[in-house]
Amino acid sequence: MSLDLGIGREGTALDHADPCRLLSNAIGKEMRRTFGHVLPFAIGFEVAPGDGKLHLHGTVILDNASLAHRKAVARVFRRAAGEKPKASRARQCSLKSMDRPEGWAIYSSKSIKRTRQLLASDKLTFVNRDLLRLTRDAWDDL
């Protein structure tokens, strides 16, 4: 998942002591409102190398693979991030299947130094309890 922040939400995140907690709470709230529960997810902030825009990368485990569900998940992330104007809203959230989960961690860390400097924080990532539990269960099954 790749998610651009709306202007207001980007400003709030830049001023917040724990921007990951701010966004994870907003995402959880939108998921509960939309689905009645929170999906397993993780997020990480990144400053774009080119334009310096603060945005998120993440992962989410969907309830199902239907197009309607994928659209609803994208809408949840857009709302939590502060929706952009209608003209650019379709490109605000990109959901793609992840064949190699380790790739997300590598990709998300490419601008870590710049991101830490911009946010003045080491709190750049968040993994919710549901995803942690699934990860532990999978590890225990090995």
β-strands 2-4, 125-127 pairing? unpaired
Task: Calculate what percentage of the chain has a pLDDT beyond 70.
Answer: 92
Contact 129/39 with Cβ under 8 angstroms? no
pLDDT at residue 56 tops 70: yes
Residues of the chain by 3-state class (helix, strand, coil), percent to 5:
50, 15, 35
What's the burial of 95, exposed, middle or buried (CB within 10 Å: 0-12/13-18/19+)? middle
Q: Which of 27, 45, 52 is nearest to 37 (CA)?
A: 27
**pLDDT (0 to 100) of residue 105:** 65
The 10s digit of each residue's pLDDT in 70-102 is 999 999 999 999 999 888 888 999 998 877 666
Residues constituting the chain: 142
Q: Which domain holds residue 112?
A: 2-140
Q: In the chain, how many domains are there?
A: 1
The reported pTM is 0.88
**pLDDT (0 to 100) of residue 101:** 63
pLDDT at residue 49 tops 90: no
